Structure 1
Amino acid sequence: MPGHRGHGLHARDYERMLDLIVAVLEHDDPGSLWYLISGHLVDTLGLNTVVFAVADPARGRGKAQGWAPRSLGRDVSDVVQRRVRQHHPLVSYLAARALRPVTASELCDDWRDSPWYSEARRDYGTTQQLGVPVPAGDGTLRGLVLGRAGDFTDHELAFAARIQPLLITADRHARELRRLREAASPQAAPAVFPAVAVPRHDLTPRELTVLGLLAEGLTAAGIAHRLAISPHTVNRHLEKVYRKLGTNNRVSTVLSAQQAGIVSRARIFSHPADRG
């Protein structure tokens, strides 16, 4: 494990990270979040492909979204399922619950003689793959596979390591936002996030997610745990929500949000451990 991968980043690298953070927090469609992220990564790292994969090795299953930089379509999930069955080195690496971003050649001494290399080069012009684990704590193996022609430099590996926490947080944010939107039944009135709610109160997608979890009864610590952020960050989001809704405590905030139709009146307390 090279010890210098965390060094050597430049001001431009941090500008790109900030651009990505802002784009993620302002994006309100969880279904297309990884497409947004992939666009940034393609431009920043000169990638041929970006694949976000979720694998279940025990069942030999996997699903994925991929871009090159346009969508790779449903075929990419078939490729991921084959890789799970073939024990691709990056799948084995994720299964070991390792966290460090790692290249396929680092895991596989004969990478350039492997069938995975041949297929990736034939289909996408990819000669190296970088796996970035995105652990979720739900039993699945989640990660990004970044493909490009040519090796990744130490500088690029350092960049990948620095943005990995953002990717993990973005994934949790997208899953929670999707769950909150689906929590209300089709008959629920008002809907969880009506289209008029955001412009009316100027709440960002991140603030809406925090507000939705608050309405489910989670404490700041519980919200922080769910979204992989600090309680301090949660409280800063809540302060902004209070200001935008004209409230000053959690109870009045939830009631105001329910009356305005921003959150459903019927919340589902499905994670009691997070409420403590």
Structure 2
Amino acid sequence: MSDARAWQAAPDLVDLLDGVVDRDRHLRVVAGALTDLLCADFVGRVALDLRDRSAEVRRHPQGGRSGDDVARHLLALAGDHPVVRSLRADRSRGLPAPRRLSDVATRAELLRNAAYVELLRPGGAEHQMTIPTARTGAGGRVWTVNRSGAEFSDRDLASARALQPVLALLDRTVGAHLAAAPDGVAAREELGLTAREVQVLGHVGSGLTADAVARLLRISDRTVHKHLENAYRKLDRHDRLLAVDRARELGVLPQPRRRAP
């Protein structure tokens, strides 16, 4: 894709997203544009916070492992992930520039890398290009563009750089706003729930035991139970099921997905 085509795609993306208030549709529109423009097999939307030990992974089109499963695996391997390491070491002002896997590791290094061997290559990301859109102290949000077979060219990388400013703008003005339901945020703040308490309650609500949550977040069992006790008290409920139901009712936690009949 030429840089001129990339620049033309930027206003087209803004037009496509005009009036979009549904988060899933927003992600689908951007992912579809990136897939077409960069000839990707699939595109991923990744939010990672290593301080809170939280991650969200969305794949477009959907396929293979669930996003939650990939997110848990990513958290476990984040310290070894070549792009995560590269972005954390990047001290440039503003957003780090887009980069390919091959820009941060040799082929021999990748074949010895657990994140590549266990997560990326089996998932179809033999070649990956990452486009950061938001940066935080311990992580951020990125789009990943993935292929098997052909490596991304220097022209592809230049196109990603041309698209990055509008993707970052969309992240600030649309994507970040849609990332959480405003009513849920307001309810959480009114109840005095901390982000960590909501995170722990959400993991427990998804079926994980307190021991599993402790291992996932790398905190003690005692800390998990303390967060749960605080959440129960603030939600005025005395056990896990009632507290989770109340949090979902208020929008603090998302409603569970319905299984297809």
Shorter-chain-normalised TM-score: which range? 0.5 to 0.7
Query: Residues 62-83 of structure 1, C-alpha deviation per residue, up to 9 Å, x if partnerless?
Result: 222222x226543232232233
The Cα shift of 1:115 comes to 3.2
> Kindly, what percent of the aligned residue pairs are identical?
23
Provide the residue aligned with 2:236 in structure 1.
none
| Mapping for residues 1-276 of structure 1, pairs under 5 Å | 9=2, 11-67=4-60, 69-70=61-62, 72-84=66-78, 86-97=79-90, 99-109=96-106, 110-119=109-118, 120-124=120-124, 126-137=125-136, 140-149=139-148, 150-174=150-174, 175-176=176-177, 181-182=182-183
Match of 1:135, SS state, is strand
Partner amino acid, structure 2, of 1:79: H
Alpha-carbon distance in 2 for matches of 1:63, 1:184: 18
Provide the residue aligned with 2:208 in structure 1.
none
Partner amino acid, structure 2, of 1:14: W
Alpha-carbon distance in 1 for matches of 2:8, 2:16: 12
The Cα shift of 1:16 comes to 2.6
The Cα shift of 1:184 comes to 9.2
Q: How many residues align?
A: 176
In 2 relative to 1, CA 15–129 (structure 1 residues): closer, same or farther, beyond 3 Å? same
In 2 relative to 1, CA 144–83 (structure 1 residues): closer, same or farther, beyond 3 Å? farther
Provide the residue aligned with 1:240 in structure 2.
none
CA contact (8 A) 1:61 1:81 kept: yes
The Cα shift of 1:108 comes to 1.5
Q: TM-score, normalised by structure 1?
A: 0.55
In 2 relative to 1, CA 122–165 (structure 1 residues): closer, same or farther, beyond 3 Å? same
In 2 relative to 1, CA 107–9 (structure 1 residues): closer, same or farther, beyond 3 Å? same
The Cα shift of 1:161 comes to 0.4
Partner amino acid, structure 1, of 2:98: P
Q: TM-score, normalised by structure 2?
A: 0.57
CA contact (8 A) 1:27 1:33 kept: yes
Residues 108-117 or 161-170, more deviating? 108-117
Provide the residue aligned with 1:232 in structure 2.
none
Query: Residues 115-146 of structure 1, C-alpha deviation per residue, up to 9 Å, x if partnerless?
Result: 3333433332x311111112245754221222
Unaligned runs of 5+ in 2: 188-261
Partner amino acid, structure 2, of 1:55: L
Alpha-carbon distance in 1 for matches of 2:123, 2:110: 16
Unaligned runs of 5+ in 1: 1-7, 187-276
